[in-house]
Amino acid sequence: MIKLDRVMLGLCGVAIFWGFSYVISGYLLQSFSPVFLSFCRMIITSLFTLTLLFGNGGLRWPTRKEWLLLLASSLFGLFIQQPLYYLGLQLSSVANASLIYAAAPLVAVLLERVFFAVRMTGEKIAGGVLGLAGVVVIIGLHGASFQVSLGDLFLLLAMLGMTVGMLFTPVLARTMSNQAINLYACPIGIMLMAPLAAGEAALGRTYMTFNWGTAGLFLLLGAITMYSGLLWTKGVASTGPGTAAMFMNIPPIISLVAGHFILGEPIRGVQLAGGVLVLAGVYVSSRSMLRRQSLEQGTVLAEEN
């Protein structure tokens, strides 16, 4: 049995990596068109994944059912999520993106209930509400009305695509290793993204400004995406989409801290309070799972004695 406390630490690591990847992606969008950036990111991530995992051995060719599940997962989690996220980020704002993605845990809990009949506990709902409130406090609406734009619609669809894509991971994990899921998802993602990248180029909307600095950031982004993807797959498979999604509210905190130390941006006290709410939401939503594992381990020890 995989220890859930280690899985939770891994999900915290994913949140930290994603916080930095948001900053890097936002910077690279100044030099690359959104679909081309997403396509190149996927290729580099795939190369890192192939290099790391292909020589491990113990891999088998997926069955027809597993290929269909991998295709469905990539269709929602990559083909829909990534391009729409970058397009939305161009037309909207990072603050709106953080707010929209903060609703993902609540959506994941509802989808878990609908498709897997997972009990909708009060702790999960409370954790999702606390996380959403924390993100609202962190970004600060400052009394302004939340204006819905085309970019916000793209971000909403991207969030829904990512959340639906997560639902396939626990099903795949029943018969495939986490490493195999990530390895075989790579070529599927590239094949799905290639027509979009070609379409952007055909319309004359592809642009890039290449230099050694952007090349280094691309490699860093690919490495972050690869490693966080492995941890994320393991976390979703072990805890379920509803609990894992709670950790998606942590990246705004990381971006806030990174902006302070890297860019010298000030951190307000109310933003720290928002961070506490987010962390409280993660703790509340995951507490029941950790308590259940502790009881199961106690039962096993009692039976052995």
**What's the total number of domains in the chain?**
1
Strand intervals (E) in the chain: none
Q: Residue 298 pLDDT more than 60?
A: no
Q: What is the pLDDT of residue 70?
A: 93
Q: In angstroms, rounded to a whole number, what is the distance separating the alpha carbons of residues 41 and 142?
A: 35
- Output DSSP code: residue 78: I
Weakest mean pLDDT among 13-22, 26-35, 57-66, 289-298: 289-298
> In the beta sheet, which residues pair with residue 32?
208
pTM above 0.75, yes or no: yes
Residues 171-193: tens digit of each pLDDT: 898 898 888 888 888 889 889 88
Residues 35-74: tens digit of each pLDDT: 888 888 889 988 888 887 766 666 788 999 999 999 999 9
The boundaries of the domain holding residue 18 are 4-304
Q: What is the mean pLDDT of residues 77-106?
A: 78
Task: Give the DSSP letter string of 113-144.
Answer: HHHH-----HHHHHHHHHHHHHHHHHH--TT-
- Return the percentage of the chain with pLDDT > 70, whole number: 83
What's the mean pLDDT when you consider all of the chain? 79
Q: How many CA atoms lie within 13 A of 1 on its CB side?
A: 9
Provide the pLDDT confidence category of residue 2 given band limits of 50, 70 and 90.
low
Q: In angstroms, rounded to a whole number, what is the distance separating the alpha carbons of residues 107 and 98?
A: 15
> How far, in Å, are 103, 208, 303 from residue 120 at the CA level?
16, 46, 30
Q: Residue 276 pLDDT more than 50?
A: yes
φ, ψ of residue 177 in degrees (nearest 5) = -75, 160
